[in-house]
Structures are given as C-alpha cells and as structure tokens.
Structure 1
Amino acid sequence: MAKRKKERIHQINHMLLEMANGNFFYRLERSMNKDSLEALSVTLNMLAEEIQEVMIHQGFANTNDTIKHIVQMSFILDSEGIIDMVNKHACTLLTIEYDDIIGIPFESLLTESSQTSWKKTWKTQLKNQNNVSDTSLVLTFKTKENLLIPNPCYLTTFQNKTTKERNTLITVIHHSKSQFELETDLKQRVTQFMDNSKQSTKTPITPFKQKLRLSFDDIKKLREGHDFIINNLDKKLPSLKEFALQLGTNEFKLKYGFKELYGTSVYRFLLEERLKKSQLLIQYTDMPLKQIAHTIGFKSFPHFSKSFKDRFGFSPKILRKKYLEKNGN
C-alpha cells in the first residue's frame, strides 16, 4: 500500500515537472481510491487538458500559418506487430530510448484497455486484401514514468514490395476541430474571391467591406472577456451591450472582435466551453450529472442533456456509462 502511494506521488511529481516544461499532453492514470492523491490526479488531468486546448486554439485564429494538425508520434510495424521504425519525438514523449523501442511489440506501449482495442482493429486491417487500407481509433500510450498519452491514431496497412508482408504505419495526431473550421472558412472565402475574379468584367462585383482594425487595447479587452467567460461558466452572461460596457468597449467591437479572435460568437463560445467542461467532469469525476449541469450554468438537466447530445452525438448518461465500463467500474 505504501509502495503504491509512493509511486502515485512520483507520477504526480513527474506530471507537474512536465507541465512546468510546457508539456500538457500527459495524463495521470485514475485509481479506485477516493483520497487526496486521486483528487489531485483528477484536477491535474483536467488542468492539462484545458491548457492544451488553450495553447492550440489561442493566438492562431485567421492567420496564414494556423495550426491544424500536430503529429506527435509515428511508428512502422512489421507483420507481427513489432516496431521497425519510430520517430524521435515519440521517444521523447514516451521517455524511452530509440534502441529500446525498436524490436518490441507495439502493444507493449499501450494501456491494457487500449491493447484490446488495438488487437481487434489491427487484426481486421491485416485481413484486408487491398494494397493500402486505412482506419483510425483512439489509443492511450503509457510512458516509462506511467503517465498516459491519449490521442487519435491513424492506421495504414500496406504490402511491403520487398518482403511481400503486410506492414503498418501508425500516425498519432493531436488535432483542433475549431482550427479546422477556421481554415475551412478561410479557404471558402478565398475560393469565392477567385470565382468572382473570373466573372466577366461586365458583371458588377460587390466590393469587399473594409474590415474593422482591432487595436492592441481592443484585443486586450476581448481577451479579458474571454477569461471572464472561462472563469464564470456557472453564471448567467449579461447582455452583449452590458458585457461590452463592463469590458470598456462597445457591442459591435465585442461581437466582431470575438468572431475574429476566436472564430465564433460570444454565446456560442460560452456554450462550447460549458459543454467541454461538462465532458471533463463526466469523465474524470464522480459528480452526479444533474450537479454537473448546475455547476456549468444550465438551469435544467433536460436542456443540458439535449445541448450535450447535439454537440457530441450522445447523451451525458451514455458518456458516463462508457467511461465507467472502460475503466472497469
């Protein structure tokens, strides 16, 4: 018991060091204990996930070099599932030397629950007779320090021209849906501009409206509004006119600037953040669902449940049930 407690403290300490170094993709494995160490683990997981999202989303809206996908790890496996190649970044994330990874089974890098998902999906892929076959699944990796790295993985099985065996390419990616939507919108606007430019010169083209220029002071006030929303998800947001006055700006700059900086409206951002927080609370705490709805600012559970299902495609009850089954509870 004392040994296990010491190991958990060591993992928490390592997690804090990684976060201090700017690495927010690690997670602590949850236990069945209901003590202060488990509470701290849950808090750190939630904090790391929130900061990771902020680091990806903030400061990149509507720029030419937006972040869309981040490749974290890459592996190539032989027909037996043994690692033939791994990129250096994967070695760094897993805190394992390159020579120690090459030649070991890929599944040995995964948690027990992910090993089951991996074996089932990989065997199905190997049976595919196409030259190249693609699929995806979510896997959780375990580092040498027993920290967790959950992420979507893309699998490509292909026939090696030299050995005639089926090899597998695994790409582990952290991606941003919101950023993808911003880039898609930008591409659509560019395409629309090019289509307009190809029209006959006889066809009148509506001139573009000049964009409002946001000053540094404007951006600072908008970020204050962003932080206020994040820190007061349980409270009712005042009207946009009142909210703008509180920030020291006007309603037009608030609506326009928020859309430019964060790619969405103020109220849509509030709803999205409430639902994101509820997702974390459902997965990483034992808080009753009705209490979660109240904690994130919903007046009724039915309204929360409907909004949650509209956003994620399944109800809060289903998510809680799946997570408990996954963790053997």
Structure 2
Amino acid sequence: MFEFIIQPLQLFLDGAIGKDRQAKRSLTKKLHLARADCEYLQRQQDCLEQSHQKLKQTCDRITQRQKQLQSEYVQLQKRFGVLAVAQQKAEEQWAIAVDCNERLTVEQSTLAVQLQDLETEIKQLVKLADDDEKRFSAQAENLTLALENEKRENVQLTGEIAVLEASLARQTYQQPQPSNAGKSPTHDHKIPPNDINPDVLKCVDLSEVSIALVGGHDNTRHHVIEKLQQAHGLKKRHLHELSHEHTSDRRQVKEKIKNCDFVFVITGYISHKLHDSVMQLRDKDALKGDVVRLDNHGATGVLRDILTYVAHRFPSAEAS
C-alpha cells in the first residue's frame, strides 16, 4: 500500500543522482533503433504488398487462362467426338471400298478373259476379211475388165447410132418445107444432131423469128435470152418467156405463145401444170409454131439446142 509513496520517491532519487538521464539516453537510443526497425519493416511491408499485388494479378491471369483452357478443352472434346464419328464413317466407307475393290478385281479378271476371247475372234475376223478382200479384189478386177469391154462396145455403138441419126436427120430435114408459112406442123419436135459448124451457129439470125421459152430456171432463161438478143438479133417483142411463177392457166399460156414460130420447153425445170397446158395446146393444134422439148438444163446446152434447131428448121435464118 506504500507503493504509491515509494515509487515517486524512487523516481525523485533517481533523477537526483543522474540515473534517470542515463535511462533517458538509453530509451532514446532504443527509440531511434525502434524507429529504424519500424521504417525497415514498413519498407518490407510495402515490398510485400507490391509482391502480393503482382501475385494477385498473376493469379488472376492464371485463373483467366484456366477458364480459357477449360473452354478449349470442351471444344476439343466436341471436335474429338466429331472426329470419332467421321473416323467411324471413314472406316465404314473404307470397308465398302475394299468390298468394291474385290468385286472390281473379280470383274477385271472376267473382262480380261472376255478381252482375250475377243482378240482371238478379231484375229479370225481379220483373217476372214483378208481372204474376202483378196477374193473381192479378184472379182473387181474381172468386173473392171468386163466394164471396160462394155464401155468400148458402147462407144462403138454410140458412134454407129450417131451416124445413123445424122443420116436420118439429113433425110428428114432435106424434105421440102410447106409453102404455107401461116401454119407449121405442131407435133412434138426433137433437136437434130449437132452436125453444124459452130461458126455457122454463131451467125444464126433471129431478127425475124418469134420464140417462146417455157420453164427452166430463171438464171438459165435470162442468160439464154441475153445471148439470143445480143449475138443473134432476137427482138424483145418477138420473145415470150413463161414459168410456173408467171402463170399456168392454159388460156393465158395460149395468148402468149400461140403465134410464136418456136416454143422451146425446158423440161428439166418446169411445173407439171404448165407443161400439161403447153402439150394440150399442141395436141389441139392451137399453136402456130413447133413445140420443141429441150432436155438440157444448163444455159449453154439450151442455147446450143435452140440455135441448132433453128438452123436446121429454117436454113435461111443462117447468115450468108
């Protein structure tokens, strides 16, 4: 109970003898050391806090990366499932392909046997074809020789026929002509043999002759008409041309050709109706001049036949 009295007295005595100053210096020194330690610890704490912050950031990044890896793992699992299904299908298709390959191998073997049989058959056919070709070649040579012999005989007969026709034509056209020029024979006339010199045909004068051209291609008629007018003096008023494009009516045909000296019918290009109209007028003696059928189709042949017939029919039409 005397502690409250003793303690102050003790302190007073310590201060009086200098013991308190020593303690104060010791405490001050300890205070400085404690402050230095505190500052050091504060710096350590700051460093630890910075390290903690960095570790926390690293932990956050690791956590985020872990989530990404988990997501990728899920996706990989899905892809693995898809790949597993695809692998299963591929294995099934591979099994089918193996089966098909086996069947194809069997078919290939069968086809190889068939091909060998076909090659053998082809060789046999080629041999038969060669034999037939040799036989046909021999027959063709024989036929060629026979044909050449027949051609020579035909040429000889044609020459004899031409001589006979020329003789017959001269006998026919050397008969006296009727004195009545108003009515010429109207039966169907044929072109006499071309036994007149071509230079004589070039000089045939048609200036006073009336001609009708019936049928034929337009280009053929126009070419013939141009030559007859330019080289032989045929007058336009003495020329009458008829084709199935113009008319086939018998009455109109008669009006055009009834007074012509010659009616030349180009048979290679004419309608049946127009041809029949001319032939009926001829048979009824409704035409003044001769009706002459021309079998040539080309312009040159038609022109030559016309000049040949006129030269034979009216020798006076030839230029002197």
* Fold agreement, TM-score > 0.5: no
What range describes the TM-score normalised by the shorter chain of this pair? under 0.3
Structure 2 length-normalised TM: 0.21
Q: In terms of Rg, which structure is larger?
A: 2
Structure having greater relative contact order (Cα 8 Å, sep ≥ 6)? 2
Point out the structure with the larger strand share.
Answer: 1
Point out the structure with the larger helix share.
Answer: 2
Structure 1 length-normalised TM: 0.20
